[in-house]
Structure 1
């Protein structure tokens, strides 16, 4: 131990130095308090033996100054004094002394006190070092968190949850949110919504935000299907996340006309479609495993479709909402939340704000939440496509392309997406890619549903829309030998592309007259919106060969959507 002896009596210095040196300590002696302060930084004493009565600066004045110089590490100060008055000894302790020793003293007593205070000093030094290490790690963690926050902020810069038809309420348990809510408008007026809940809270689950957000925004811009999104997200998380982590997720696409929801729910509580009075008209239950669990070959990307109206609202939420604690410590629960929704919506147009305020009140009452909370409301209304101005490049040869699509392609992948991806590699078609996907997809589905599968559109009413798609899937699985043929004609100089789509089905389907004008029948009003959408984008649409061939023409000189 390094011991500093502060005493104006040389005899005491010699006696203490000899005694302490003999038992292995390093000793430095000074004559008064000022000298002790002057040599403190150089000597770095671990224990100080301090006289009370000294010239220049006495012991009572020196002790607190030495304590201040020692910083966070405890510096034991033992007063050495010939004074035995109680008030003097008491003051020694009041000014920062840790012990005192009256002269004359037994050497064994001094050694015992030195050893005892040395142990305290070592504990204090060890604690200070650990605190220093913890502070370093804390600063490093804050820096790393700042970097991650910056990355997440950039990753979510394209998020479009601020649209007038979307309302959101998000709260996290910690700095980083284990819930992930993403929104993005598609290229032709459709809107995509992703609601995810990763395992756990904090930084670890938040890392899943980066790959999901990157894929979501990219696929939404391309107008990809919900099924393809679910497959891609699952594959990415399967590669990224450890075995004990996954992401419950809900993926929604609202069609451009606002009349149809395409849904995939893997582990998120029932999403609700409510009317203007808060009454539940549809539920979207979790029919799939969460993302990041099932291998690619076993993953089920099958989606559901719901027919909705403009006065309906989709309510999506994570389990943190229904697990909110009430004043009696019981959970809000699904029934409680549904009642909360109904009561709030019946009060008027500010139903979402009412629900949000009540959830906030629950949080404030408990002063904490146990799970991340996410609540989204999506109004089912028509959205216009966004026009983008890009120059048309026509430096390609004209061509005619025939594509034959069989059951194998329909069941294994999205054949329309594959076709449009190939066409989109041409410069002149790249900017029109999303519009071409819409045209091909709607035409393909019309031919497949009505010419091949002979589906009845009257099944597609508000109560039977799900039944329609279940029957469609059943007929797809039973029909072994169907094929759909698409013949594409591309004339780059004329900035023109057309296609004829037909099948080997026997049932003709022509909901329009031969002139191509829309029928005003009730069936067309309810179920012909896909063809109405085609007419919005295409220059010409007509049924040929008595309803067996659908002919579509598209002008590439028009500004792409």
Structure 2
């Protein structure tokens, strides 16, 4: 492809010779007899290439080359000096004034053509680099603008999270501009707190985008005082439809009631959480027992929760795996769970509860020795004790009349309603007086219904879960017997009797099965380490009474409800 070449020489014969050589190669030529005219011609024609003599009247080649280079700016315009001078000083001056090459006189046509071709290739590469740099600059500006927009949207989304709660401390450090970890905190309108810690697959903006549907579902359901079982189910359903298949959210969801003496926990995929106690150190592990959010479809999602009793001053610590995976620059050894547990236990015993949070972070940073973060890092501390919630609404029942809800499920309805407890909860009176205990009510109903179905109608034996592949066998048997179930009935009754001195919610279930050995289900929840029997133990820990009759076919549980009971058993927590 021909180029536009500026030939600068005060001898016309030299210009004619060079012009002849170049035009034979398909190039267009412009001539100038001195440096000043060369600069003017450059401004007018913007040539691709310049061949420059050195010694000329009015303005020499050195000055002209320097001016042309300045006018070219970022555009690469090669300048080849044509000179009869061969001394080192002259050749050095050629390069210092902006020249890219030189060719001695008399001019060798073959060498001239070769040099022009070589510099043309360099010029083409330079133009490509310049074009790519321009494109990168444009893309960077666009990306910066998009990041600003993303940051604005995400910050606006997270602004709804409760700030400055004296019961909660949090530390979040992102690996990049956007954080794939998310911590949400919200008041329960009927008293207490909801806390959510999540860790999305990956890092940066792609991971952070998932925080939008999570936060929307979280705050929407918290405003309605929904139980965390339903919040977890809603989040899972939302993320399953929103995220690509390779993404999910490891999470822990906690509800601490207004009394602050217990924590209801749903945990899936995050590292285990820990509970410390003043003077005792690390006292309990909160196991992460479920799959992360966004993996399993709604019909297979396990929303079961665990109850952890707390004493005043206990601290519950939850964190993402970024803390566990921290390591020094020159080592592959990770901080790990053992160091986390040791730090929590040691810090309590050495300096008391108030320094545990900062102490764990100090131990982490000391171990990692300032190495670059390999993951987003989050740490949350929740202190047991009464939750000071000024926005708690009046929890008097809407009616002081007794009421009851009765549901009768035959085999056909049992098949058509995989989780009938959701429907039972929905038909209960829409009263925030009940929503205050919604998690407990749903947990009690779910565990008792599961027991009536699996051990009553299906006559399953939970002890097989203790074998190597026991859970697989158990659920295979469950599916087989469910497929064969064509008769049987489960009756559910929920009744409420209002008394200002102490109301009661009674939950009873009756099935038409063969019954089961309910006497073997009396083991305390804290003492039960077997892979079965925890459901009834959990119900007993939540209820005032749990009584089985008719060989296990009938059960009645009583849950105490006192609208005036704020459980002020603890002194207030001093501000952090």
Of 377, 387, 398, the match for 1:383: 387
The aligned counterpart of 1:107 is 109
Which segment is superposed worse, 526-535 or 229-238? 526-535
CA contact 1:416–1:437 (8 Å) conserved in 2 = no
Candidates 368, 373, 378, aligned match of 2:377? 373
Distance 2:326 2:11 in 1: 73
Instruction: Determine which of 351, 358, 361 is the counterpart of 1:356.
Output: 361
Report the 3-state secondary structure (helix = DSSP H, G, I; strand = E; otherwise coil) of the residue aligned with 2:362: helix
Could you say which residue in structure 2 is the equivalent of 1:129?
131
Counterpart Cα distance in 2 of 1:246 and 1:340: 30
Verify: 1:341 aligned to 2:341, yes or no.
Answer: no
Quote the offset at 1:361 in angstroms: 4.2
Q: Aligned residue for 1:46?
A: 48
CA contact (8 A) 1:161 1:182 kept: no
Seen in structure 2, the aligned counterparts of structure 1 residues 8 and 388 have a Cα distance that, compared at 3 Å, is farther
C-alpha contact (below 8 Å) 2:226/2:435 kept by paired residues: no
Q: Distance in 1 between matches of 2:560 and 2:504?
A: 15
SS of corresponding position for 1:49: strand
Query: How far does the alpha carbon of each residue in 1:296-328 deviate from its partner, in whole angstroms, 9 at most, with x for none?
Result: 111111111111111211100111111111476
- Structure 1: stretches of 5+ with no match in the other structure: 425-432, 454-476, 490-498, 507-522, 538-561
Residue 412 (str. 1) matches residue 414 (str. 2)? no
Q: Quick one: which of 216, 228, 231 aligns to 2:230?
A: 228
Partner of 1:307: 309
For 2:147 and 2:261, the matched residues in 1 are separated by 42
Sort the Cα spacing of 1:449 and 1:385 in 2 relative to 1 into closer, same or farther, 3 A. Answer: farther
8 A contact 2:505–2:560 mirrored in 1: no
Cα distance in structure 1, aligned partners of 2:542 and 2:109:
108
Looking at structure 2, the residues matched to 264 and 142 of structure 1 have their Cα atoms a distance apart, in angstroms, of 38
The SS at the match of 2:370 is helix
- TM-score, scaled to structure 2: 0.73
- Structure 2: state its 5+ residue gaps: 452-481, 483-487, 511-539, 546-557, 567-576
Alpha-carbon distance, 1:406 to partner: 5.3
- C-alpha separation in 1, matches of 2:167 and 2:92: 75
State the shift of 1:375 in Å: 0.6
2:334 to 314, 331, 336: 331
Change beyond 3 A, Cα 1:287–1:501? closer
Measure the CA separation in 1 of the matches of 2:425 and 2:66. 79
Kept after mapping to 2: 8 A contact 1:224/1:417: no
Assess if the C-alpha contact under 8 Å between 2:53 and 2:61 holds in 1: yes
SS at match of 1:196: strand
Query: TM-score by structure 1 length?
Result: 0.75
**What are the Cα deviations for residues 35-63 of structure 1, in whole angstroms up to 9, with x where unaligned?**
33334344222211111122333221222
Distance (Å, rounded) in 2 between the aligned partners of 1:100 and 1:160? 72
Q: 2:72 maps to what in 1? A: 70
1:107-506 correspondence runs (5 A): 107-160=109-162, 162-277=164-279, 279-326=281-328, 329=331, 330-345=333-348, 346-348=350-352, 349-363=354-368, 365-366=370-371, 368-387=372-391, 403-405=405-407, 411-414=419-422, 417-419=425-427, 433-438=431-436, 481-486=490-495
- Structure 1 residue 442 displacement after superposition: 7.2
Secondary structure, counterpart of 2:564 in structure 1: helix
Alpha-carbon spacing, 1:447–1:83, altered in 2? closer, same or farther (3 Å): closer
Distance in 2 of aligned mates of 1:258 and 1:416 = 28
What secondary structure does 1:67 align onto?
Answer: helix
Instruction: Report the aligned-residue RMSD.
Output: 3.8
Instruction: State the 1:410 CA deviation.
Output: 11
Give, in angstroms, the shift of residue 287 of structure 1.
Answer: 1.0
1:107-142, Cα deviation, whole Å (9 max, x unpaired): 111111111111111111111111111111111111
